Every structure is written in structure tokens, then in C-alpha cells.
Amino acid sequence: MSESEHRAPRRPAFFSPSALEAHGGAYDPTEQIHVAHETAAALVHAGRAAADPAVTERLVALVDDIGLSTLAELWSQRPARSLPGSLWRLYVLREWVRRSPEDASREYAAGIRFTGPNHAVAGASDPPDPEGMSRLIDEILRGVFSGDLAVALERAAAFCRVVSAGRADVSAGSESAEHAANLLGMAEDLAACARLWRGGSLN
């Protein structure tokens, strides 16, 4: 395997409409869509083709290197039930767990009694402490690049269902209820993406 195959993917270039105009080019939204899907596919392919734990770890920690805002520019506007849309949601989940591990642990723990089967699918530690939450979300992302991608998406969906149930139980107010509902919607989208991947149509 050549040295180039072991390198981490380079930060993809992204030009805003104003930046393109400054360079004399017209902004083409279809090109942005193409770039979103191509970069997502290339990232997954690079990780799975390398079969190298070091490459996998760099891909798992991609946000630490390029920043969540870069991924947002690339992928956040793509449909939830697409490859870039699903990757965007996985990295957002990782970033939330890394920034709020205590909240993630508390809400996950509260949700277990309502969604025991989903807890088993997610594969969290027992008890689900903050460190365990961080390990879990990284393990799920590793599965995207070095395991069964559909299983990784199903585990992420199960994680969202547990946290959604826990958040609805321990938090009060319309905002918390909305967040819980959003997580449940994310779970359904990730589960749908798993089915699409198995059918060879997650693009």
C-alpha cells in the first residue's frame, strides 16, 4: 500500500457564492450538490479501502481537524436520507457528545428503561457514564469506515432513540420536547439510511 493511501483525506475546498464571484465564476448550486455527494462517497471509500486503523481514527476525528463548520458547508443542506446527510448527522452527534458528555450520559441513562432493546442495539457501556458515551459514538463512527456501515447507522439510530426518550423524561419545557422529537426524527432517518445502504442506493 502506497504512502498516499495512508494519508488522511485533505480538507475539501469549498467556495461560497460570493467567493466564486470574486474568482470570476458563477455560483452553480448543482455543483455544490455534486461536491457534497462526491466528498461523502470519497471519504467512506477511502476509509474502507485503506483498512488501516490509523486512517480510521483520523476519519473518526475529522471534525477535530477541519471543524464542524466545514462539514456543515459541505453536507448539512443535503437530504437526511442520503450519504452526506447521514454522515453529517453522525458527526453532529459525536460533537454533541464530546461537548456535553454529562448531559449525554444523563439523558441516555434515563432513556434506557423506556427503550431497552435500543440500548442493546446501541451497545453503550453499563452504566452509561460520560467516558462510555464518548467511546460509543467513536465506535459507531469507526463502523462507518471499517465495519458494516448499515450496522453503524442502526446503532446511531438506536442511540438517538434512547437519548430522545431520556430527554423527554428528565427535561421539561417545549424546547426540550422539540429536541427530543428532533432526535427521534434523526433516528428514523438514520435507520432508513441503513436500509438504503443495504439496498445499494444510499448516495
Q: Is the pLDDT assigned to residue 113 strictly greater than 90? A: yes
Query: What is the per-residue pLDDT for 43?
Result: 96
Percentage of the chain modeled with pLDDT above 90? 78
What are the pLDDT digits (tens) for 11-34? 333 344 444 344 444 546 788 899
Percentage of the chain modeled with pLDDT above 70? 86
**pLDDT tier at 187 (50, 70, 90 boundaries)?**
very high
Amino acid (1-letter code) at residue 72: A
Within 8 A by CB and 6+ apart from 25, the residues are 15
Average pLDDT over residues 62-73: 94
Query: What is the per-residue pLDDT for 193?
Result: 98
Specify whether the CB–CB gap between 74 and 12 falls below 8 A.
yes
Query: What is the per-residue pLDDT for 173?
Result: 73
**CA-CA distance, 37 to 120, in Å (whole number)?**
32
In the chain, where are the structural domains located? 3-198
The alpha helices in the chain, defined as continuous H runs, are 3-6, 17-22, 29-50, 53-60, 62-66, 68-75, 83-99, 101-111, 116-122, 130-146, 149-170, 174-198
What are the pLDDT digits (tens) for 142-166? 999 999 999 999 999 999 999 999 9
Query: What is the per-residue pLDDT for 174?
Result: 78
Burial class of residue 143 (count of CB atoms within 10 Å of its CB; 0-12, 13-18, 19+): buried
Specify whether the CB–CB gap between 162 and 118 falls below 8 A.
yes
Cα dihedral 134/37/58/140 (nearest 10): 30
Q: Is the pLDDT assigned to residue 44 strictly greater than 90? A: yes
Query: What is the per-residue pLDDT for 175?
Result: 82
Residue 53 to residues 38, 145, 166: CA-CA distances in angstroms?
23, 10, 33
Q: Is the pLDDT assigned to residue 101 strictly greater than 60? A: yes
Within 8 A by CB and 6+ apart from 129, the residues are 105
Burial class of residue 15 (count of CB atoms within 10 Å of its CB; 0-12, 13-18, 19+): middle
Average pLDDT over the chain reads: 88
C-alpha cell of 40?
A: 461523502
Query: What is the per-residue pLDDT for 28?
Result: 63
